Structure 1
């Protein structure tokens, strides 16, 4: 049998969210920065994303990352994030998977008890602190690029729902954020399918009625996800809340979502509900948790911003080589609306 391309893949997840890491087989990717490489992959090499994430090799809940050498003098390594409908500028859960794979497979040296890394994402440099013990990464704490609010307390008209109050917030991806209780949700696992359906409708309405453009990089995508937020509570002085991010084309993030958590921190700070340095435990619809805080304050163009820090853990689940048989009729995969909600 002859393969026309073979990818070396490490399967991984961060607090339940898939984050495959492609460690070999991609070859050269043109571009000086990781954002440049992201653009080149999207415009000239998109068959890799489709091969890995679309059926029959992938699934709607899969994500992937390509590890690439960085040209930035401060970066230890770079990576580009691949998701089922887009190439995000940043992803917290995927960053946790990348850092874990880099250290646990020996691509970069592990130093116990703590390894400090600087990784270049398409969004910019991400400082990462990995707690390590007995060859295992037990925690990944990343400091994200600044997060900020585009719009607060806006009313949009949503088909089948009427008027819905939303906030539009950037945390590495841009979110239409809505209080789950406003629509009768408690963010229970049994609500997942309905959350996805409603979340997609809210996202589409927000895209049409509240256009946004990143002030420093207009090529960063606009609103692509919906985040349902739960009520705040304090346990032993620590702030807690649940959330559910609906990722396009319509499925729930299994983790508390790193960029969604960053956006939540920006919104909470804008409302005066959290101060820099205060801990915030963000829980997903599956019950997994990220520990979050604000490392500092900043500005992005005209917007007041926070510098989010998000901590969680990732686990490697397997190693394999993915090949393309020249006779395979599904070399770039396919999607069906039974699980993808819409064919892509």
Structure 2
């Protein structure tokens, strides 16, 4: 049998969120930067994203990453992030999966107790600090590109709902933040169908009614996700300092729940909390997903990005390899690019 395509894939998840890592079989992807490579991939190789993420090989809650050589002399590797409906500039959970796979499979050397590396994402260089023991990556800390706030307390008209107050912030992807209590939805896994529907309605309305344009790269998409946030809970951190906890539910297009607390949503929320005076640089923020998984996050520093005050987010979490496999495509398979069936693949929003 001669397969039409064979991809070497390491399946992983970071705090519950899927992150396939493609380590072989794609071949060269043209482009000077990883953002350039992402654009080429989306225009000429999108069939590979569909093959990986659509049925029968994938599912709407799956993500994938293609590991590629980087042209940046400061980077150890680069990677492109593939999701159900878009190519994000950056993803926290996917980055944790990529770093874990690179180290645990020996593609990059592991140094215990801490391995430092730099990865080039489409958003730019991402510093990684991986805590390692006995050949296992126990925790991945990433230092993200700057996060900033576009809008605070903006009022939008949401069809079927009415006026909704949202904050809009960027942290590698752009999010519309909504206080879950303000729209009367408990942050519980049993409310997922309601959260999906309302999250997509809010995202669409916010994208249509609020101006969003990245100050240094206008090709980065606008609002593509909604984050429902719970109240801030202040308590003592393990070191005795005050920490802040909060539950959240991030709804990713085309309408599904991020199983992790969402690294880029957390980055954007750090910028929002700092802008509101609710979180200081260095203070621990611990977001929690609806399945109970957590990230640890801090503001490493403050800066500016064009006209916006910005923060440098640091997010840490855990990732695990779940399988090693070769994804193959039989030339006689009628579903060369996979297929999608009904909700939640085909959202009306």
Indicate conservation of the 8 Å contact 1:130/1:137, yes or no: yes
Q: Which residue of 2 aligns with 1:214?
A: 214
Task: Name the SS of the counterpart of 1:226 in structure 2.
Answer: strand
The superposition leaves residues 54-92 of structure 1 with CA deviations (integer Å, 9 ceiling, x where unpaired) of 111100000000000001010011000000000000000
Residue 179 (1) aligns with residue 179 (2)? yes
Q: Residues of 2 paired with 1:343 and 1:11: CA distance?
A: 30
Q: Which residue of 2 aligns with 1:278?
A: 283
After TM superposition, give the deviation of residue 175 of structure 1 in Å: 0.4
The superposition leaves residues 93-125 of structure 1 with CA deviations (integer Å, 9 ceiling, x where unpaired) of 000000000000000000000000100000000
Residue 247 (1) aligns with residue 252 (2)? yes
Q: Residues of 2 paired with 1:329 and 1:219: CA distance?
A: 34
Of 296, 305, 312, which residue of structure 2 is paired with 1:300?
305
After TM superposition, give the deviation of residue 341 of structure 1 in Å: 4.2
Q: Residues of 1 paired with 2:276 and 2:71: CA distance?
A: 39
Q: Following superposition of structure 1 onto structure 2, how do residues 50-65 of structure 1 map, counting pairs within 5 Å?
A: 50-65=50-65
Residues 46 and 341 of structure 1: is their aligned pair in 2 closer, same or farther, counting only changes over 3 Å?
closer
Q: Residues of 1 paired with 2:249 and 2:129: CA distance?
A: 26
Indicate conservation of the 8 Å contact 1:117/1:128, yes or no: yes
Q: Following superposition of structure 1 onto structure 2, how do residues 113-152 of structure 1 map, counting pairs within 5 Å?
A: 113-152=113-152
Q: Residues of 1 paired with 2:180 and 2:253: CA distance?
A: 18
Q: Which residue of 2 aligns with 1:18?
A: 18
Indicate conservation of the 8 Å contact 2:254/2:344, yes or no: no
Q: Residues of 2 paired with 1:342 and 1:214: CA distance?
A: 26
For structure 2, the residue ranges without an aligned partner over 5 or more in a row are 237-241
After TM superposition, give the deviation of residue 343 of structure 1 in Å: 8.6
After TM superposition, give the deviation of residue 193 of structure 1 in Å: 1.2
Of 267, 271, 274, which residue of structure 2 is paired with 1:269?
274
Q: Which residue of 2 aligns with 1:318?
A: 323
Indicate conservation of the 8 Å contact 1:337/1:343, yes or no: no
Q: Residues of 1 paired with 2:35 and 2:154: CA distance?
A: 31
Q: Residues of 2 paired with 1:336 and 1:168: CA distance?
A: 31
Cα root mean square deviation, aligned? 1.0
Task: Name the SS of the counterpart of 1:197 in structure 2.
Answer: helix
For structure 1, the residue ranges without an aligned partner over 5 or more in a row are none
Task: Name the SS of the counterpart of 2:295 in structure 1.
Answer: strand
Aligned residues: 344
Q: Residues of 2 paired with 1:90 and 1:316: CA distance?
A: 20
Residues 332 and 116 of structure 1: is their aligned pair in 2 closer, same or farther, counting only changes over 3 Å?
same
Residue 335 (1) aligns with residue 335 (2)? no
Deviates more, 1:50-59 or 1:183-192: 183-192
Indicate conservation of the 8 Å contact 2:243/2:286, yes or no: yes
Q: Which residue of 1 aligns with 2:159?
A: 159
Scaled by the length of structure 2, what TM-score is found?
A: 0.97
